[in-house]
Amino acid sequence: MPIPLSRPPIDDEIKGAVLAAIDSRQYILGPQCRAFEEEFARYNGAKHAVLTSSATSALWMTLKAFGVKSGDEVLVPSHTAFPTVEAICFAGAVPIFVDVDDSYTVDVRDAAVKATPRTVGFVPVHLYGHPADLPAIQRLCAERSLWLMEDCAQAHGAAWQGRKVGSFGRAGAFSFYPSKNLTVMGDGGLLVTDDDDVAARCRRIRDHGRLNKDVHAEIGFNLRFNDIQAAVGRVLLRRLDAMNDHRRALAARYVTGLAGLPLLLPTERPGARHVYHLFVVRTPRRGELARFLKDKGIATGIHYPVPCHKQPAVEHLSAPALERTERIVTEILTLPISAGHTEAEVDEVVAAVRQFFGG
């Protein structure tokens, strides 16, 4: 049978939670949403969790709540999904593109070089499920008086020395897209923060800037969440650590099975807990390998082939070249992994990759 890149969980408990939410006849920011926010905040060690329509919305609302204004500069890795940069631009700020290190997360030394007196904040991305170098990022933010906003869209449950990502900065944003470590079977997002004012402002912004049903304190937007998807999220949040453990076990199986091949495998920095949202390898023969695996019914992906600083939407910024980012995007290839994959499927992928390399 074909092996997909990701396989979201669907079972009777999830279906039952959805039907119960439907029967409640409370669908928008109702009891399921409130419970999901409370449970996620507790899980992540945060005072507040605020549900919204996507991680992009969570990032944008939070930047607005931080008081970002036109012309402010924000440090961000170029090697990330473009929505990270999109949120910065929508907030009126200027993204300052930073290179990455060997973990595919932001190179803090390059960030230090790129910071200027106009720089107000830093949005590191815990890419592929691996935490960025949070202690170094915190030091840089303290030295330059920058706020820190973590993009955790691919890193639910990832941690640095036992402390979950999203809890190191002023706020953190998460995505619930179907392939993510924690999904709600559709689009969705959430921000966590210990800042009462940021949480309150984001709750207003997501609901048309309302103070109450009839009074609008500011211009907001409809970025609300719904109870049907919150019910799914509550079920899967209870399973998140076990699902991440399974992803880590599958990743370890990949590493063992692919050892000795001319293939650069993902690593885990000391102190980091990688949750393997994606399992990304590198080879100059990426195109050949992807076609070979496709012919065997094995899906692959490229995350991401076009660096953000090279995207047409921001070409007016004339961003400087980023040597490591521009090199790795020609070689990276994502192999199938999710909490729904089996050891047998990973073994099948390993066997196919070894066959390709003649190993």
Model confidence over 199-250: pLDDT tens digits?
999 999 999 999 999 999 999 999 999 999 999 999 999 999 999 999 999 9
CA gap 20, 55 in Å, rounded = 26
* pLDDT over 90, % of the chain: 99
- Delimit the CATH 3.90.1150.10 region(s) of the chain: 239-357
Packed helices 12-24 and 31-44: angle between N→C axes, nearest 10 degrees:
130
- Delimit the CATH 3.40.640.10 region(s) of the chain: 12-235
CA gap 329, 304 in Å, rounded = 6
For residue 190, which of 60, 31, 45, 52 has the smallest C-alpha distance? 52
* Max Cα distance, the chain (Å): 68
SS3 state of residue 336? coil
Residues 118-161 have pLDDT tens digits of 999 999 999 999 999 999 999 999 999 999 999 999 999 999 99
Q: Residues 263, 101: contact at Cβ < 8 Å? A: no
Distances (CA, A) of 187 to 54, 183, 207, 255: 6, 8, 17, 31
Query: What average pLDDT does range 87-107 have in this prediction?
Result: 97
For residue 266, which of 97, 124, 131, 76 has the smallest C-alpha distance? 131
- Please name the residues in contact with 113: beta carbons below 8 A apart, sequence gap of 6 or more: none
Q: Which CATH superfamily is domain 239-357 in?
A: Aspartate Aminotransferase, domain 1 (3.90.1150.10)
What is the predicted pLDDT for the residue at 14? 98
Residues 32-81 have pLDDT tens digits of 999 999 999 999 999 999 999 999 999 999 999 999 999 999 999 999 99
Quick check: bond before 276 cis, omega within 30?
no
The CATH number of domain 12-235 is 3.40.640.10: yes
Average pLDDT of the chain, as a whole number: 97
For residue 61, which of 144, 149, 167 has the smallest C-alpha distance? 149
Distances (CA, A) of 334 to 262, 277, 280, 294, 350: 16, 10, 4, 13, 13
What is the predicted pLDDT for the residue at 125? 98
Residue 342 CB: number of other CB atoms within 10 A? 12
Q: For residue 10, with 0-12 CB atoms within 10 Å meaning exposed, 13-18 middle and 19 or more buried, which class applies? A: exposed
Packed helices 12-24 and 227-257: angle between N→C axes, nearest 10 degrees:
160
Residues 328-349 have pLDDT tens digits of 999 999 999 999 999 999 999 9
